[in-house]
Amino acid sequence: MSDKKSEICSKVIGVVGQNGSGKDTLIKYLDERCGLEVLSLGDVARELAHLEEAAFSRDKLHEVSQKYQEKYGEDFFIKAVIEEIESKLWEKVGVTGIRTPSEVDTLRKHFGSNFFLIHVYVDNPEVRFERLKQRGESRDPQNYDDFLAQEKAEKDMFRVDEAKQCADISIANAGTLEDFHWEIDQLILQEQFFQSLCREA
């Protein structure tokens, strides 16, 4: 097993961005184009919340995240993701839900040039809130004031603004889905990382 594992050289695409910016949409389309295994840091937190029989509200998930980070370190969740990638010998992986500079740093140190971070953004918060409403998940805020308050709390808690500064590229997602797919197609065509990643898909 160790010999086989040493032959695996995982390429990992990370996505960072604010709520409603299109992180999952980006990874889903890259999966369609390139054939990725997809992991979410949020899913790790939700699994732990389930084990503790906690609600899946965003506030409760934040409490669970803080609890485990305080106990095991700020990179607890990203290390769990790395462990899963390596245990399953995945070669091409998309990781959503990256939020902190520490998570970015851990991925870069572990995967080196085989890690590529994309920042996806929508400058208008009202657009992002409307997209969350369309998503219709119970954990999302139900009114705009709560959305803004939650966004401020997450900025302070996770330092997303610092993490996005570490991105290799930024992609706007303010238009239609077709516009966004076009932007991603250009990324695949122009970045060497993606040309080699998607060549065999």
Q: What is the CATH number of the domain that holds 23?
A: 3.40.50.300
- Of residues 152, 96, 148, the one with CA closest to residue 119: 96
Res. 67: pLDDT tops 90: no
Question: Is 1 a residue whose pLDDT tops 60?
Answer: no
Q: 199 in a domain, yes or no?
A: no
Between these two residues, 156 and 103, which has the higher pLDDT value? Answer: 103
Residue 69 lies in a domain: yes
Higher pLDDT, 125 or 153: 125
Q: Are 171 and 187 in contact (CB under 8 A)?
A: yes
**Number of compact structural domains in the chain:** 1
Residues linked to residue 182 through DSSP beta bridges, in sequence order: none
Task: Give the least confident one: 9-13, 63-67, 192-196.
Answer: 63-67
The answer as to whether 200 is a domain residue is no
Whole-structure pTM value:
0.84
pLDDT in tens, 41-66: 877 766 665 556 555 556 666 676 66
* Model confidence pLDDT, tens digit, residues 151-162: 888 787 778 889
- Residue among 157, 174, 172 nearest 67 (CA): 157
By residue range, what is the domain housing residue 160?
2-192
